[in-house]
Each structure stands twice: as structure tokens, then as C-alpha cells.
């Protein structure tokens, strides 16, 4: 996907901002201070009155020491079933900027533990997540499970996965692992290139771009996708093409070398290669207002694979007025949420999510991981 330059609205905003530069700076500084204070206060409150306790530990994967967090229910007796959280794109730490906290609380209230970790190069973990393809990410999840298996208060025979967005290309690769009891897919796509195309179309539509502009930008997307899909393309080739196109009047952003290599490693990803290998219960959750993923396309392909497989108990749900993050659309709905979204997630807690999201996750995990569900697992072996 090729990122375009600024538009006329950006120019208007720049002129307006310059006229009120001093006032804007003061407002921004005040907002930043208030945001930081609120976040600090929230961290303190959550540490004092949570439904769960957190324990940090380390494990090795691909030569890197990774730091994980085990979230255990308070005032309950273990060992506990565990949900392993598999991140989406980006340099995410174990809690995804607080996004997982409400889910951890909802699961802990049902007597279910959670485990997540800092991605390589994020938080306290060594390495660089941009050097990973999706198989490396799947291997990392398996390494995390082996570590989890060594910890106290963990029912290692009752472990499932929940994966977000990009993790839709990670979870299916773990289908052959006997320890996986179930999978929860959240806002996941099928094909890497097609997802990028969908995101770009939605962005152009939001700007009411003319048909000629849409066609020109999508043609550029196809050109760069083909370039990045070639094993013969190196970073210098990519930069040269960006400069050539920009010299013709475009204003394309340029990926860093690390991001370029990451995209090259993964641009051919298609979940259909591994979906048919899944033999455990699957829950897929989407937001009706998702700007990043073609929800109907994902559901169509999941149904095509799973509905014909009697070994897979497949359920999906599309939440109205919900975003890619399954948050309520009225709070925020951006393809790349920023500081405001992080602040709202931490301030609003459970309420940031669309009605039913936390219950659906909790009900599904509880059904397939608590003691009376052993027969459910046997039905799918």
C-alpha cells in the first residue's frame, strides 16, 4: 500500500494553525500534561484495585530474551486455564497500551488467566519485531507456551489463543500444535495485499477522491506491491522508485529499511494456506465499521473453510457501531489510532468496547477451557 501526500484540507489546517500558533501550543501542552497525569493515576488505581495480579517473567525465542506477563485471577484457586494474547502490527508491549486490560479483567472474573509479552524490541524484550515473518511469530507463540508450561498456577492443558488483526496470519500456523484448545480471531484479514488495497480504498473514499485519483493511486499500489513481491528488489531499488514517482508530482511516504524488509517478508501472506489445518473451536469477531479489514471478505472465507469441516465449531459475530479495535465507533474510528484513543481506552475501560464484546470472548473461552469442557475437546479430536 502506497501512502499519499497531504491534500487541500491539510493546507487549510496549516494556515489556520499558523494564525493561532501560540494558543495552539498552550492547548497542546495542557492536553499533554492532563493526559499524562490521568494515565499515571489510572496506572496507580489499576495496580491497587484490579481483579487480577500480574507476574513478569522471561523466556527465550530465536535467541532473544522476551519479557512476558502472566495475569492471574485474584481470590481464586489455581491452576488456571490461560488465554495467550497474540499481538497485531507494531512495536507492542504486553498490554498493548492498556487495550488488553479490560479483557484480562473480564476473563479473570471467570477464573481464567491471561499471558502476553513484549514483542521483540518493544518494552523490555530483546530483538527486532520487524525482522519476523509470520512463521517466526508463530514459533515465538510456541516458545511462549513452553515457558508458560513451566509456570505455577497454570493449567497447561487448557490453553487457547486470541489474536488481533495481523495475528490472523499467525494463528492458523499453530493449528498443528496439540496444546491449542481454541482460537479467537479479532478483526483479522485474509490476504495481505488485498487488505492494503481495502484500507487505501476506504481512505480515498473518506476524502471523496475523484475516480481518476482513485484509479491512479491504486495503480501505484499495484506497481509497488509487484516491486516488493520480487525477490530481486532491494531497498535501494525501492527508494529509487519512490524518488522517481515523487519527481513526477506525487508525494509518497518512504518506508524505513526495517519496515521495507518486514513488508517484503510478509507481503505474500494469505491465511487460506493454513486455515484448513485448524481442528479446534474458532470464534471470529469483527466491527461493522472496520476501516482496516474487509469484514465480509474475511467472514466469507472463514465460512467457506470452516462450515464444511465438522471438526471445527465455528462462530462469528459482527458488532454494530464497532471499529477495527471492537471499540464503540462514537469514541474513535481511525485506521491508525493515536494518543486520544490510548487515553480513552485507559479512561473508559470496559465501556470503550462495543456491547457484547467482552461477554462473547469470556463465554467462548469459558466454554472451551473450564473443567466441564473436556468432552467438547474430545468431540473435535
Rounded Cα–Cα distance for residues 283 and 361 (Å): 8
Instruction: Write out pLDDT tens, residues 108-124.
Output: 999 999 999 999 999 99
pLDDT at 201 over 90: yes
Q: pLDDT-derived band of residue 372, with 50, 70 and 90 as boundaries? A: low
pLDDT of residue 379: 41
User: Residue written as cell 495542557?
Assistant: 30
Instruction: Write out pLDDT tens, residues 312-359.
Output: 999 999 999 999 999 999 997 888 788 888 888 888 889 999 999 999
pLDDT at 26 over 60: no
pLDDT of residue 340: 82
**Which cell numbers hold the place of 333?**
474510528
Q: What is the pTM of this model?
A: 0.85
**Which cell numbers hold the place of 148?**
508458560
**Which cell numbers hold the place of 24?**
495552539
Looking at domain 50-191+273-372, its CATH superfamily turns out to be: Alpha/Beta hydrolase fold, catalytic domain (3.40.50.1820)
Going from the C-alpha of 372 to that of each of 158, 368, 376, 378, the distances in angstroms are 11, 9, 8, 12
pLDDT of residue 332: 78
What's the rounded mean pLDDT across residues 208-217?
92
pLDDT of residue 75: 83
Q: 82 preceded by cis ω (within 30°)?
A: no
Q: pLDDT-derived band of residue 11, with 50, 70 and 90 as boundaries? A: very low
pLDDT over 90 for what percent of the chain? 75
pLDDT of residue 37: 54
Is the distance from CB of 266 to CB of 196 less than 8 angstroms? no
Q: Dihedral angle at the C-alpha atoms of 86, 87, 93, 96, nearest 10 degrees? A: -110
Residue 225, φ and ψ in degrees, nearest 5: -65, -40
pLDDT of residue 250: 86
Q: Which residues are paired to 370 by β-bridges?
A: none
Of 129-133, 222-226, 366-370, the poorest mean pLDDT is in 366-370
Burial of 326-345, coded b for 16+ CB within 10 Å and e otherwise, reads: bbbbebbbeeebeeebbbbb
pLDDT of residue 244: 96
Instruction: Write out pLDDT tens, residues 132-152.
Output: 999 999 999 999 999 999 999
Does residue 35 sit in helix, strand or coil? Answer: helix
User: Any residues with CB less than 8 A from the CB of 234 and at least 6 apart, and which?
Assistant: none
What's the rounded mean pLDDT across residues 58-81?
96
Does residue 285 sit in helix, strand or coil? Answer: strand
pLDDT of residue 283: 99
Instruction: Write out pLDDT tens, residues 266-320.
Output: 999 999 999 999 999 999 999 999 999 999 999 999 999 999 888 899 999 999 9
Q: pLDDT-derived band of residue 6, with 50, 70 and 90 as boundaries? A: very low
Is the distance from CB of 145 to CB of 181 less than 8 angstroms? no
Q: What is the mean pLDDT of the chain?
A: 87
pLDDT at 196 over 60: yes
Is the distance from CB of 112 to CB of 82 less than 8 angstroms? yes
pLDDT of residue 78: 86
The counts of H helices and E strands in the chain are: 13, 8
Q: pLDDT-derived band of residue 376, with 50, 70 and 90 as boundaries? A: very low
Domain extent listing, the chain: 50-191+273-372, 193-267
Is the pLDDT higher at 183 or at 17?
183
Amino acid at each position: 500500500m502506497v501512502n499519499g501526500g497531504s491534500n487541500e484540507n491539510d493546507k487549510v489546517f496549516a494556515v489556520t494553525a499558523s494564525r493561532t500558533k501560540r494558543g495552539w501550543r498552550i492547548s497542546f501542552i495542557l492536553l499533554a500534561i492532563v493526559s499524562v497525569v490521568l494515565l499515571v493515576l489510572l496506572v496507580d488505581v489499576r495496580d491497587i484495585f484490579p481483579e487480577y495480579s500480574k507476574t513478569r517473567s522471561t523466556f527465550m525465542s530465536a535467541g532473544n530474551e522476551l519479557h512476558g506477563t502472566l495475569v492471574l485471577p485474584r481470590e481464586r484457586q489455581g491452576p488456571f486455564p490461560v488465554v495467550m494474547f497474540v499481538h497485531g502490527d507494531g512495536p507492542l508491549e504486553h498490554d498493548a497500551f492498556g487495550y488488553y486490560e479490560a479483557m484480562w479483567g473480564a476473563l479473570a472474573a471467570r477464573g481464567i488467566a491471561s499471558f502476553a509479552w513484549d514483542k521483540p524490541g518493544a518494552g523490555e524484550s530483546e530483538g527486532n519485531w520487524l525482522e519476523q515473518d509470520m512463521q517466526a511469530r508463530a514459533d515465538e507463540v510456541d516458545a511462549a507456551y513452553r515457558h508458560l508450561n513451566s509456570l505455577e498456577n497454570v493449567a497447561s492443558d487448557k490453553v487457547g489463543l486470541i489474536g488481533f488483526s495481523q495475528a490472523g496470519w499467525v494463528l492458523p500456523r499453530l493449528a498443528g500444535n496439540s496444546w491449542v484448545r481454541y482460537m479467537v480471531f479479532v478483526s483479522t484479514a485474509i490476504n495481505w495485499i488485498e487488505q492494503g488495497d481495502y484500507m487505501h480504498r476506504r481512505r480515498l473514499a473518506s476524502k471523496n477522491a475523484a475516480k481518476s485519483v482513485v484509479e491512479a493511486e491504486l495503480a501505484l499500489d499495484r506497481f509497488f506491491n509487484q516491486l516488493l513481491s520480487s525477490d530481486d528488489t532491494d531497498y535501494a531499488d525501492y527508494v529509487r522508485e519512490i524518488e522517481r514517482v515523487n519527481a513526477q508530482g506525487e508525494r509518497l511516504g518512504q518506508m524505513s529499511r526495517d519496515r521495507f524488509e518486514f513488508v517484503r517478508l510478509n507481503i505474500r501472506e494469505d491465511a487460506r494456506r493454513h486455515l484448513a489445518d485448524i481442528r479446534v473451536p474458532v470464534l471470529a469477531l469483527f466491527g461493522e465499521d472496520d476501516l482496516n479489514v474487509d469484514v465480509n471478505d474475511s467472514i466469507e472465507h472463514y465460512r467457506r473453510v470452516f462450515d464444511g469441516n465438522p471438526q471445527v465449531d465455528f462462530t462469528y459475530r459482527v458488532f454494530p457501531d464497532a471499529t477495527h479495535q471492537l471499540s464503540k465507533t462514537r469514541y474513535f474510528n481511525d485506521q491508525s489510532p493515536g494518543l486520544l484513543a490510548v487515553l480513552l481506552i485507559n479512561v473508559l475501560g470496559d465501556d470503550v468496547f462495543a456491547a457484547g464484546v467482552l461477554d462473547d470472548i469470556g463465554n467462548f473461552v469459558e466454554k472451551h477451557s473450564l473443567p466441564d469442557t473436556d468432552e467438547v475437546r474430545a468431540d473435535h479430536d
